[in-house]
Amino acid sequence: MYSLQNQLGGGEGTVGIYGTVTTTGVAAILVALRGIPTGHVDIPSCLTDIGSGLGCPLLLAIDFDEAFGIEIDPAKCLKAKAFIPRCYKELTARNLINYRREKIRPTVCADVQNILKLPFCTHVYSFWEGFNEENKRDVGKLLRRSPYVVGIAIVQRACREPDVPAFFLRNFKEATLKDLYSLIFSTRGNALKIFTHERNSPKWLNMAPPLECRSGGKNIYDRYKIYTLEDIFKLIDFVLKNNYVQFGGVLYLQLLGIAMGGNASVFIANHFLFSYEYRFFEQLVSAICLDPSTQPISTLPIPAPLNADIFYPRGAVARFLLQTFIWLFRYIDDIGSLNNPYLEQLLYTNRSYFGFEGIYPPVLDITLTPHSSSLKYLDIEIGSRYQNNKTPLHSTFYNNKFSEPAFAHLPIIRYPHTTSNLSSHCKRNILPSRFIALSQNLTSRSSFIAAMAAVIVGLHDRGYSFGKLKRSLLESGRRHFKEISKTKQLFIRSPA
């Protein structure tokens, strides 16, 4: 492509700037964008590139039924008219693409401001590093007048949340706006994240099969690690060869299940459970796409009545369940669910509720413990602020069972000693990381201060000086928080 671009004088024109991302990056973004279904099997997929330039993304749109571009610059439109046929001819000669050229419609040479309505299209791609605020607003107005658009990819070299105009929040209000490289909005509520460089890739357990995009995040709320299938195979191989457990001073090879305490055990268990959760939510999303019913449902009967599909549209039921199960959380093997009476109906895969299969395999022995007014989940107690079992929620620190007197004899070590053989960076970040985690999860100021004071005392007992702890906390506060007045009270009110 680049050699043909150079023969035409490059990708520059007379309006805007010339910029692009790598071919690999564009291809990954388009694959992820095409993953957003059109909403019905009979609706073909059509990609529109706003600010298409010479039309490189259009040539890479191999998964779309049709594609066309919109470009304001007449010089670039003339170049695209020559570039696309010549590039298509060379790519087909090398067997790199195998679709008919007619699927790429001629580029529309016009200002977005003067276009009343987009021709039929379902997905939009736009590299808008050269767009000003007025251009972005015009794009938003155009998209709002296009009823068939289900997904939009906003691409630039460094995409940040504050750069997202407000009209996307209104038009695609269910999308979560977190990304590093590109933002892909969906009417289904997805915001896919694309990373084309390994050094920028966040790390998290990823269910995407090979050749599909990976997802993750960079903010303090979503630091992830990506595990490829090759990584999973290595973890399983490690467990099979090193599944030992020590008991009574003797080392045993565990033949059934995974030995507790192994480095790989928790990741395999997490991947195993997440695979079932992924399939459960995937069936709900698929039902919504196939039956996008707008009829709202406020509640569902338990158990499901006979001939329920006659009185309850499948898409509406799926949407209701999806909204209900949003408040289901899992950390390794601990599951918490808020105000969800349908969890018991959909707990196992051998059960069904309104035609939807449950979540976990029946071999798992899951014990449901109902709570009336508050929920103790991990080290947080969640309850209703006004004691009426409704939002807003109120969270306080929960001193879990290992802090009870009955467990006082157990040699539990929560924090490493200051002389332990760990890097100084790890030991220095213990207090700031707990500060960030507790401040994000606790709504009670007094509970937060008491919990942090306990952390400080625990670290002091392990040999850390109060002076160094205070300095590390203040340095972290300047990086992560505008308001760090809480830190002063932690040392004033510390039990020590």
> Cα–Cα distances in Å, from 217 out to 151, 176, 178, 248, 304?
20, 11, 7, 44, 39
Measure the CA–CA gap between 75 and 90, rounded to whole angstroms: 23
Buried b (16+ CB within 10 A) or exposed e, 114-149: ebeebeebbbbbbbbbebeeebbbbbbebbeebeeb
Measure the CA–CA gap between 415 and 306, rounded to whole angstroms: 56
Strand partners, 186: 151
Q: pLDDT tens digits for the chain (496 residues)?
A: 556 665 555 555 555 555 555 666 677 677 777 777 776 656 788 888 888 787 778 887 777 888 888 888 888 888 888 777 777 777 777 766 665 656 777 778 877 777 766 777 888 888 776 677 777 777 777 777 777 777 777 776 554 443 444 444 444 433 333 333 344 444 433 333 333 333 333 332 233 333 333 344 444 334 445 667 777 888 888 888 888 887 787 888 888 878 776 777 888 888 888 888 888 988 888 888 777 666 778 889 888 888 777 788 888 888 889 888 877 778 887 888 877 889 989 999 998 898 899 999 998 888 888 777 777 777 788 877 776 666 677 788 876 655 666 666 666 667 788 887 777 777 888 888 888 888 877 888 888 888 888 888 888 888 888 888 888 877 766 655 544 444 444 443 333 3
Measure the CA–CA gap between 167 and 165, rounded to whole angstroms: 6
Between the two ends of the chain, the Cα-to-Cα distance in Å is: 68
Domains in the chain, ordered, with CATH? 2-200 (3.40.50.150), 229-261 (no CATH), 266-368 (no CATH), 394-492 (no CATH)
Measure the CA–CA gap between 202 and 200, rounded to whole angstroms: 6
In this prediction the pTM is 0.49
Up-side HSE of residue 156: CA atoms within 13 Å toward CB? Answer: 13
Cβ-proximal residues to 322 (8 Å cutoff; 6+ apart), any chain: 281, 284, 285, 288
Distance of CA 311 to the CA centre of its chain: 34
Measure the CA–CA gap between 414 and 42, rounded to whole angstroms: 58
DSSP string of 377-424?
ETTEEEEETTSSS-SSEEEEE---GGGSGGGTTS----S--TTSSS-H
The letter for the amino acid at 356 is F
Up-side HSE of residue 152: CA atoms within 13 Å toward CB? Answer: 26
